[in-house]
Structure 1
Amino acid sequence: MEDNYSRSTPETIFSRPEVVGSRSRSFLANVFSYMFVALGITAVVAYFFAANADTYLVPIASNKLFLYAIIFAPLGFVLLMSFAFNRLSAPVLLALLLLYSAINGISFSFIFLAYTSGSVFGCFLTAALMFGIMAVMGYTTKQDLTSMGRLMTMGLIGIVIAMIVNWFLKSSSFDYIISFIGVIVFTGLTAYDVQKLKRIGEGIDEQGNVMSGDVKKLAVMGALSLYLDFINLFLMLLRLFGRRN
Structure 2
Amino acid sequence: MDNAYPYQPAGLAARDRGHVLFAKTMGYVAATTGLFALGAYLGRNLPGWLAFVAYLASFAALIGMQFTVRRSRQQTVALLMVFGLLMGVAVAPTLVYYASTDPQALWQAGAATALFVAGFGAAGYATRRDLTALARICFWALVALLGFGILLIFVNIPNGALIYSVLGLVIFAGFIMFDFQRVRRSSDVDSAPLLAASIFLDVLNVFLFFLRIFRGGNR
TM-score, length-scaled by structure 1:
0.76
1:35 corresponds in structure 2 to: 29
Report how far residue 179 of structure 1 moved.
1.3
2:113 corresponds in structure 1 to: 127
**For 1:187-226, what aligned pairs fall within 5 Å after superposition?**
187-201=173-187, 215-216=189-190, 218-226=191-199
1:103 corresponds in structure 2 to: 86
RMSD: 2.5
Equivalent of residue 229 in structure 1, options 202, 211, 217: 202
Q: Is the 8 A contact 2:120 2:177 kept in 1?
A: yes
Q: Secondary structure at the match of 1:142?
A: coil
Structure 2 CA distance for partners of 1:172 and 1:75, relative to 1, 3 Å: farther
2:131 corresponds in structure 1 to: 145
- The Cα offsets for residues 197-226 of structure 1, whole Å up to 9 and x where unpaired, read as 21112x6xxxxxxxxxxx32x110000010
| Structure 2: segments with no counterpart, 5+ residues | none
Report how far residue 109 of structure 1 moved.
1.8
Structure 2 CA distance for partners of 1:48 and 1:199, relative to 1, 3 Å: same
- Looking at CA atoms only, which structure, 1 or 2, has the larger radius of gyration? 1
Q: Secondary structure at the match of 2:133?
A: helix
Q: Which amino acid aligns with 2:212?
A: R
Structure 2 CA distance for partners of 1:170 and 1:92, relative to 1, 3 Å: farther
- Mean CA deviation greater in 153-162 or 131-140: 153-162
| Structure 1: segments with no counterpart, 5+ residues | 1-7, 204-214
Give aligned pairs, total.
211
Partners of 1:102 and 1:172 lie apart in 2 by: 36
Identity %: 23
Q: Secondary structure at the match of 1:242?
A: helix
Report how far residue 72 of structure 1 moved.
2.5
Q: Is the 8 A contact 2:43 2:90 kept in 1?
A: no
Partners of 2:155 and 2:23 lie apart in 1 by: 43
Structure 2 CA distance for partners of 1:44 and 1:170, relative to 1, 3 Å: farther
1:239 corresponds in structure 2 to: 212
Q: Is the 8 A contact 1:123 1:242 kept in 2?
A: no
Equivalent of residue 15 in structure 1, options 2, 5, 10: 10
Structure 2 CA distance for partners of 1:172 and 1:124, relative to 1, 3 Å: farther
1:70 corresponds in structure 2 to: 54
